Structure 1
Amino acid sequence: MEGIVYNIQRMSTKDGPGLRTTVFLKGCPLHCPWCSNPESQSFKPQLLVFSNLCVGCGACEKTCPNGAVIRTGNTFNRDRAICTDCGACVEVCPSQAREMSGMRMTVAEVMQVVDSDSIFYSNSGGGVTFGGGEPTAAGDFLVALIDACRSRGYHTCLDTCGVCEPVRFRKIMEKIELFLFDCKHMDPVEHKRLTGLDNTLILHNLHNLFEAGKELRIRVPLMPGINDTDENIGAMAEFLHRHGCFAVDVLPCHTFGFNKYRALNLSPPELLPYKPEELEAALARFRRHGLRVTIAK
C-alpha cells in the first residue's frame, strides 16, 4: 500500500507529548487562506522553485524534458502551463533552488523511518503523530500506518481539521490516542467562504470525539479580523463548554512559509502578524468567555 508523504519530521516536540516523529501526508480538502504549508494542499507531488536560491547555472534548462524552464533575468523559473512536476530538474540543481514536495512511499518505507526513532519514544513518553494536509484524506494508507504503529506499541496522535466522512472517522477514532483538532470558525457560511467547505462535518466529528471521551486538544489558528472576533470566540466557547472543554491552544498568525507560495507561483496571503498588544487583546477575549489559553509553539 502506498500514499504520498511530503515530509517526515523527526525529533519533533510540537506535535504531542515527548519526542515524536511526525508523518505529514499530502492533500487537504480545505484551502485556508492563511495556510503556511500550501504545498500540503494538493494530493499530487509538486515542484517548488525558490528563485532566491537560483545561481543561474542553467542545469535545469538542459535537463527539463518538457522545455518548461524559462529564464527570468539571471535566474531560471518555470512555465506552469508546461511543467509536469516530474522533478528531473531537482536532481541536477546544485543550490537546492528546486524542491519536490511529495513522494510515494509504502507503509514499510515510512515505518523504517519511524522505527529508527523508537528509542526516543520510550525514553521521552513520545510517539508518532500524523499530520498533513489532512491525514484522514489518505484513507486506508493512514489506517495501515496507525495499525503498524499500534502493533509496535507506539503512542499515536492525529493532527486533523476534522473534515472526514463519519464512518471513516469513527474507524480512525478508535485507534488514535490523542487528537489535535483545529477549530477555525464557528459560522458555517463564513467557514465555507474562507476554506471552501462549511463546518457541519467538522463539528459532527468533534462532537463524537467528546462523546467517546477521547483525549484531545483544541487548536485555533488565530487570524486578525478573521476569526478573532468576540462573536466567533463566544460561539466557540459555548460549543466547547457544552462538551466540558475549557481550554484551547492558540496558533497566532505568522508569515512562516509564505515564501512557499511564490515557489508555487501563487500569491502569498495578505496577512500581517499580530502586534503584541493586539494578540493580548485577542487572548483576553478567550479568557473573558471562560477559556484557558495556551500559545502553541
Structure 2
Amino acid sequence: MSQGMIYNIQRMSIHDGPGLRTTVFLKGCPLRCLWCSNPESQKTTPQMMYFENMCTGCGTCMDVCPNGAVVPVDGKFGRDIEKCTDCGLCAKSCPSKAREMSGRIMTVDEVMEIVRKDMLFYENSGGGVTFGGGEPTSGGQFFLDMLQAAHDAGLHVTVDTCGFCPEERFDKTLELADLFLFDCKHMDPEAHKLLTGQDNTIILRNMRAALNSGKEVRIRMPLMPGMNDSDENIAAMAAFFAEFGRNEIEVMPCHAFGRNKYVALGKPLPAVSQYAPEELKVVWDRFAKHGLTPVLV
C-alpha cells in the first residue's frame, strides 16, 4: 500500500472546484515561488512550526526537547533553528498548540477514509475531492494511487497544479482527473526560473496537453506586482491561450496570507507587496487590451 506526506486535509472546501469538496494537500513542491503563501508545503519532510502568540510559557517543550533547541525568550519559549531537528516531541507536549508539526505520513486508505466521510455532500452539491499542495504530482506513485482510488469511487476529481511534472506522470493524471486548476506564472523561461527556481519548459508542455485533452481546465494566474504583470508577459499569455480558443483567466492578486507561517518556520518574509486599487486597475486594463478576460478568485 503506497503512502506519502500529507500536510492538511480540508473538508467542506468551496474554493477548490465545484460543489462541496475535500481538499487533500500533499507536502512537497519542485518550485520555490518568491511569493509562496504556504512555505510549509515546499519540503517533503515534516516541519515544526512555532506560533509565538499561542505560547503560554509553561515550559513543557523545554522539558522534552532532546536537542536543547527550546530557548526562553521574554517569558515564553522560542526555538534555536540551528539545533531543532523537527523531531516533533515539543509539539506533542504543547498544551496550547503553539508548536505544531506540518506533515505526516498517510496511506491511500487513510486518506480515502476521510474523503468518503462526506460522500453525501459531494452527491448533493456536485462536489468531490481536490488534490493540491505544494505540488500534488510531486507525490509520485502515492499521488497516482490516490487519484485512481478517487476515480474508482466515482468521485469528481480536481487537480490543483503548477504543471511541473514528468510527462508520463502528467499524462496518467490526465486520464484520471476531471478538472485541472492550472497555474500560469510567467511565459518567459528565464523569468520563470528567476521567480520560481525552475524554467517553464515542462510546464508549458503539460499545459498544452491538458488544453488539448478535452478535460476541463481553468487557468489561474498568481498576479505579482512588478514580477509577472508586465504588458509583455500578459501579451504572451494572451497569444498562447488564443491558440486554444481561450480568453478567460482566473487571477489571484498578491496577498499577505501566509506571512505568519514564515515566522512560524523561522524563515524570512517574502519581499512582495499587495496592489493598491488603482494599480490593480492598470493591470486589469492590460488584460483587456490583449483580449483576456480576468476573473478574480
Q: Shared topology, TM-score over 0.5?
A: yes
Counterparts of 2:72 and 2:283 in 1: how far apart (Å)?
Answer: 46
Matched, 1:241 2:242: yes
Counterparts of 2:39 and 2:188 in 1: how far apart (Å)?
Answer: 24
| Residues 1-297 of structure 1 mapped to structure 2, 5 A cutoff | 1-296=2-297
Counterparts of 1:204 and 1:280 in 2: how far apart (Å)?
Answer: 31
Q: Given residue 34 of structure 2, which amino acid in structure 1 is its aligned partner? A: P
Q: Deviations over 1:34-62 (max 9, x none)?
A: 00000000010100011122111111000
Question: How far 1:286 moved relative to its partner?
Answer: 1.0
Q: Given residue 60 of structure 2, which amino acid in structure 1 is its aligned partner? A: A
Q: Given residue 275 of structure 1, which amino acid in structure 2 is its aligned partner? A: A
Question: How far 1:223 moved relative to its partner?
Answer: 0.5
Secondary structure (helix, strand or coil) at the match of 1:180 reads strand
Secondary structure (helix, strand or coil) at the match of 1:10 reads strand
Counterparts of 2:180 and 2:210 in 1: how far apart (Å)?
Answer: 9
Secondary structure (helix, strand or coil) at the match of 2:90 reads helix
Q: Given residue 28 of structure 1, which amino acid in structure 2 is its aligned partner? A: C
Give the aligned CA root-mean-square deviation in angstroms: 0.9
Q: Deviations over 1:177-204 (max 9, x none)?
A: 1000000011110110111100011001
Question: How far 1:287 moved relative to its partner?
Answer: 1.5
Counterparts of 1:48 and 1:114 in 2: how far apart (Å)?
Answer: 26
With the length of structure 1 as denominator, give the TM-score of the two structures. Answer: 0.98
Counterparts of 1:147 and 1:171 in 2: how far apart (Å)?
Answer: 10
Secondary structure (helix, strand or coil) at the match of 1:205 reads helix
Query: How many residues align structurally?
Result: 296
Structure 1 residue ranges, 4+ long, deviating more than 3 angstroms after superposition: none
Question: How far 1:242 moved relative to its partner?
Answer: 1.0
**What fraction of aligned residue pairs are identical, expressed as a percent?**
57
Secondary structure (helix, strand or coil) at the match of 1:76 reads strand
Secondary structure (helix, strand or coil) at the match of 2:176 reads coil
Counterparts of 2:215 and 2:88 in 1: how far apart (Å)?
Answer: 41
Unaligned runs of 5+ in 2: none
Secondary structure (helix, strand or coil) at the match of 2:172 reads helix
Counterparts of 2:91 and 2:125 in 1: how far apart (Å)?
Answer: 37
